[in-house]
């Protein structure tokens, strides 16, 4: 069985804690992505599952067996590496059969298995090539064949697509999903690319600064991020954040106000909170008919347009003195808002627009701890339609 | 000013036509205009110089070998006479092939020991990070500069049974290893090890971690990964270290001469064989020169063969990093 459990796993280097008290329970047959920015400890976590790195504290279980101190070869795992790591002095057949030969399988069994593995990854007729005679995609297939040929309980993949070009990467993504369906083994996949994680995995484990932030199915991570980090990391372009304060009437930010009853949301007046909203949940006045619970109108000026083909990203400046520098963006983006609009929209640069937010898709976070307080404010207040009407007259 | 410049260039042109120059002046003139010519000339001069200084001794050996011994005096650059039978006579006088065999055995066993131990050391120094690593490396470097002669007396005492070894209540004298390969192979291994450690450390350190990790995940131990992946990929480095060690042992004089009684049956190497020609009443320079040539040949062949091996890099284009 290929279930993997980490219990209180910590890895400390001399002065850095790479992984801090990590608890993970991965089910048999699950495709799970460890995702996070560079240096967040996701690769270290994987190396500890593989046995290439020993945890400072904590225990690792694979298939219900404690493997914390076992060498990699005795853990029933296979791994695909970021740099592919084919043995350059061996041809494809020898590379794929390396592990089998070490385990002294007989010749026919090795031939049969190598043939089956190379069938699965479509490498027919290339078994006598050397790695340096192959393209990046083919090498990656060999690396995958080398991993599946031993029928491991768990696959570990450490950014296996990072060195491939963009088109091939998308192609290999679907191949990996197909492979997972076919083999039905546990796959633990490390990536810094949240798009890869969203598209492939059953569950995403978001890691930052060596700590697990959230482990949930992709859409749950997207729709109900556990904290500010997950909210900002999952989704591209990332969520808009507005810092503000809770008042008796609801949320009060520099340029954005949202009415709600603090008691319903579980905050009290005076609390520092951050409001989060994804670009696609910001609507222009014309489009607002489509949403049930719009907020008050927000006056803004369009800054830069980024046409993507299927949608246009619009950078909105919320006040006169707003600047577009990145420093401001990192400080809660109180002056800026990113909006996604329909490609047919007639919006232009430097245009004054009024926008509304979809109350059902708003997220409220505790500014101090970053923890999510509430996802979707529309459901908690019955007066949302009323509150937007006087808001219009205010302006 | 403009006219002056014109005049100068005009004078220069006329000068080319008027002044009669010798070949050397013409060459210098061309070299000034085209400095590459000068560099090429310097390259040839340097090459010829080094070729002459390295190859002349071999030529001289050949001259001496071919000249009959009684004619060796007031030698010029050419052999006085032609006596190729010397290459047969030398094997009749002294069993030189046995001395060569001894040299090979000493060289090969030292090389194997050195490569094995230096591989382990090279792995540790090249691929692991631990406190005191550079201090230890420095220690090895320092020891490699010790003069071998400094070790000779204590080692001679030890290997000839002159040292008492205390094993708890029992005191035994050290085994008498004089006239066996051991008192030569052991010091050779120790003396030539540092160079190999340095070479292998560099090579093993360059093998990407991913390959070792892959081998370990696939089912080898660390040691298995060293022998199955790291060493094969470092073949040029291992070959270099091996060839250098073998040649050093083959050329070694000090321990080779003193740790045996000079008989072929006592594992004496080539150097003893050559000195063996010296009789009480004559010194057959022609035979000794012939033996020297025969003794040098295997190493010359080894270097030529290994050269290709060293040059051919196995790792080229192996890994996407």
pLDDT single digits (tens) B122-177: 999 999 989 999 999 999 988 888 888 888 898 998 898 878 888 888 888 888 88
Report residue B68 as tokens.
């009959």
**What is the distance between the alpha carbons of residues B220 and B229, in angstroms, rounded to a whole number?**
10
Mean of the per-residue pLDDT values of chain A: 85
**What is the distance between the alpha carbons of residues B229 and B210, in angstroms, rounded to a whole number?**
11
Instruction: Give Rg (Cα) of chain A.
Output: 25
Q: Characterize the bridge pairing of strands A352-357 and A282-284.
A: antiparallel
Instruction: Give Rg (Cα) of chain B.
Output: 29
Identify the residue among B131, B216, B219, B321 best suited for mutation to test binding to A, counting A beta carbons within 10 A and taking the highest. B219
Averaged pLDDT for residues B272-292: 89
Q: How many CA atoms lie within 13 A of A30 on its CB side?
A: 20
Q: How confident is the model at residue A6 (pLDDT cuts 50, 70, 90)?
A: very high
For the ranges A19-23, A151-155, A199-203, A386-390, which has the lowest average pLDDT? A386-390
Identify the residue among B218, B224, B230 best suited for mutation to test binding to A, counting A beta carbons within 10 A and taking the highest. B218
The segment with the largest mean pLDDT, out of A138-142, B45-49, B202-206, B218-222, is B45-49
**What is the distance between the alpha carbons of residues A172 and B242, in angstroms, rounded to a whole number?**
44
Is B316's CB within 8 Å of A163's CB?
A: no
Provide DSSP, A205-272.
Answer: EEEETTEEEEEE-HHHHHHS-SBHHHHHHSSSSPPEEEEEEEETTEEEESS-EEE--HHHHT--TT-E
DSSP A80: E
Identify the residue among A88, A90, A98, A161 best suited for mutation to test binding to B, counting B beta carbons within 10 A and taking the highest. A88
B2-to-B5, B6, B9, B14 alpha-carbon distances in Å = 5, 6, 11, 18
* CA distance to partner chain A, nearest, from residue B211 (Å): 5
Is B217's CB within 8 Å of A78's CB?
A: yes
Domains along chain B with CATH numbers: 17-83 (no CATH), 89-311 (1.10.3720.10)
Are residues A20 and A48 in contact, defined by beta-carbon separation less than 8 angstroms?
A: no
Which residues in chain B are contacts of A156 at CB distance < 8 A?
Answer: 217
**Under 8 Å CB-to-CB from A295, ≥6 apart: which residues?**
A256, A257, A258, A259, A356, A357, A358, A359, A362, A388, A391
What b/e sequence results for A36-53 when a residue is b if at least 16 CB atoms lie within 10 Å of its CB, and e otherwise?
beeebbbbbbbbbbbbbb
pLDDT 10s digits, B77-107: 888 888 889 999 999 989 999 999 999 999 9
**Under 8 Å CB-to-CB from B263, ≥6 apart: which residues?**
B179, B272
pLDDT 10s digits, A60-118: 999 989 999 999 999 989 999 988 889 998 999 999 999 999 999 999 999 999 999 98
* CA distance to partner chain A, nearest, from residue B217 (Å): 5
For B275, phi then psi, to 5°, come to -70, -20
Are residues A67 and A74 in contact, defined by beta-carbon separation less than 8 angstroms?
A: yes
Are residues B97 and B84 in contact, defined by beta-carbon separation less than 8 angstroms?
A: no
Domain ranges of chain A: 4-232, 237-394
Per DSSP (E only), the strands in chain B are 164-167, 170-173
* pLDDT value for B189: 93
Report residue B24 as tokens.
């050397």
Are residues A210 and A40 in contact, defined by beta-carbon separation less than 8 angstroms?
A: yes
Strand partners, A62: A4, A65
Interface residues from chain A to B (CB-CB < 8 Å): 50-52, 71-73, 77-79, 81-89, 98-99, 102-103, 131-132, 136, 139, 146, 150, 156, 163
Question: What's chain B's length in residues?
Answer: 321
Cβ atoms within 10 Å of A292's Cβ, excluding its own: 10
- Among B237, B245, B248, B218, which residue's Cα sits nearest to residue B122? B237
CATH code, A237-394: 2.40.50.140
Cβ atoms within 10 Å of A90's Cβ, excluding its own: 17
Which residues in chain A are contacts of B220 at CB distance < 8 A?
Answer: 73, 102
B64-to-B59, B61, B71 alpha-carbon distances in Å = 9, 5, 10
CATH topology (fold) of A4-232: Rossmann fold (3.40.50)
């Amino acid at each position: 069985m290929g279930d993997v459990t980490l219990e209180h796993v910590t890895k400390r280097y001399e002065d850095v804690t790479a992984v801090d008290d990590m608890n993970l329970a991965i089910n048999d047959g699950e495709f799970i992505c460890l995702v996070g920015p560079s240096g967040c400890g996701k690769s270290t976590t994987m190396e500890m599952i593989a046995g290439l790195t020993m945890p400072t504290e904590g225990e690792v279980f694979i298939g219900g067996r404690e493997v914390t101190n076992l060498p990699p070869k005795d853990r029933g795992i296979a791994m695909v590496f970021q740099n592919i790591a084919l043995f350059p002095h061996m041809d494809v057949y020898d590379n794929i059969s390396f592990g089998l030969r070490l385990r002294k399988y007989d010749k026919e069994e090795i031939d049969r298995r190598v043939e089956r593995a190379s069938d699965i990854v479509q490498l027919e007729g290339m078994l006598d090539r050397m790695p340096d005679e192959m393209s990046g995609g083919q090498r990656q297939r060999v690396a995958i064949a080398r991993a599946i040929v031993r029928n491991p309980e768990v696959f570990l993949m450490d950014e296996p697509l990072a060195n491939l070009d963009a088109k091939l990467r998308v192609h290999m993504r679907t191949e990996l999903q197909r492979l997972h369906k076919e083999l039905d083994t546990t796959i633990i996949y490390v990536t810094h690319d949240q798009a890869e994680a969203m598209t492939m995995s059953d569950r995403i484990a978001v890691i930052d600064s060596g700590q697990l932030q959230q482990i949930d199915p992709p859409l749950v991570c997207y729709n109900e991020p556990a904290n500010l980090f997950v909210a900002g990391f999952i989704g591209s372009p990332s969520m808009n954040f507005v810092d503000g304060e809770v008042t008796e009437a609801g949320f009060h930010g520099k340029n954005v106000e949202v009415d709600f009853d603090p008691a319903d949301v579980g905050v009290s007046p005076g609390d520092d909170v951050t409001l989060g909203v994804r670009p696609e949940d910001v609507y222009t006045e014309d489009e607002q008919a489509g949403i049930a619970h719009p907020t008050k109108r927000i006056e803004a000026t369009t800054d830069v347009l980024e046409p993507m083909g299927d949608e246009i990203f619009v950078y909105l400046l919320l006040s006169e003195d707003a600047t577009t520098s990145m420093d401001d963006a990192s400080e809660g983006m109180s002056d800026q808002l990113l909006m996604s609009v329909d490609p047919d929209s007639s919006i232009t640069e430097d245009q004054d627009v009024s926008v509304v937010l979809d109350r059902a898709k708003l997220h409220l976070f505790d500014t101090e701890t970053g923890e999510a307080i509430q996802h979707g404010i529309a459901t908690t207040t019955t007066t949302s339609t009323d509150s937007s009407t006087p808001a219009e007259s205010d302006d | 000013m403009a006219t002056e410049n014109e005049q100068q260039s005009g004078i220069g042109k006329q000068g080319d036509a008027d002044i009669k120059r010798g070949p050397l002046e013409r060459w210098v003139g061309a070299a000034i205009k085209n400095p590459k010519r000068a560099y090429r000339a310097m390259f040839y001069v340097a090459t010829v110089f080094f070729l002459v200084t390295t190859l002349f001794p071999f030529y001289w050996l050949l001259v001496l070998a071919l000249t009959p011994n009684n004619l060796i005096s007031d030698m010029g650059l050419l052999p006085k006479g032609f006596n190729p039978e010397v290459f047969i006579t030398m094997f009749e006088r002294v069993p030189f092939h046995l001395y060569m065999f001894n040299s090979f055995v000493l060289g090969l066993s030292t090389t194997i020991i050195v490569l094995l131990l230096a591989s382990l050391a090279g792995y540790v120094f090249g691929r692991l990070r631990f406190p005191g690593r550079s201090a230890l490396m420095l220690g090895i470097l320092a020891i490699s500069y010790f003069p071998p002669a400094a070790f000779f007396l204590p080692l001679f005492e030890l290997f000839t049974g002159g040292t008492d070894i205390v094993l708890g209540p029992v005191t035994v004298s050290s085994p008498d290893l004089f006239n066996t390969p051991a008192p030569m192979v052991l010091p050779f291994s120790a003396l030539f090890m540092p160079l190999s450690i340095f070479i292998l450390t560099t090579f093993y350190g360059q093998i990407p971690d991913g390959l070792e990790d892959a081998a370990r995940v696939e089912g080898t131990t660390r040691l298995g990964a060293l022998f199955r992946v790291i060493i094969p990929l470092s073949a040029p480095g291992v070959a270099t270290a091996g060839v250098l060690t073998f040649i050093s042992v083959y050329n070694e004089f000090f321990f080779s001469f003193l740790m045996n009684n000079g008989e072929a049956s006592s594992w004496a190497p080539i150097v003893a064989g050559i000195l063996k020609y010296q009789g009480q009443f004559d010194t057959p320079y022609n035979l000794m020169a012939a033996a020297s040539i025969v003794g040098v040949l295997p190493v010359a062949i080894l270097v030529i063969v290994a050269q290709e091996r060293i040059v051919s890099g196995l790792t080229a284009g192996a890994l996407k990093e």
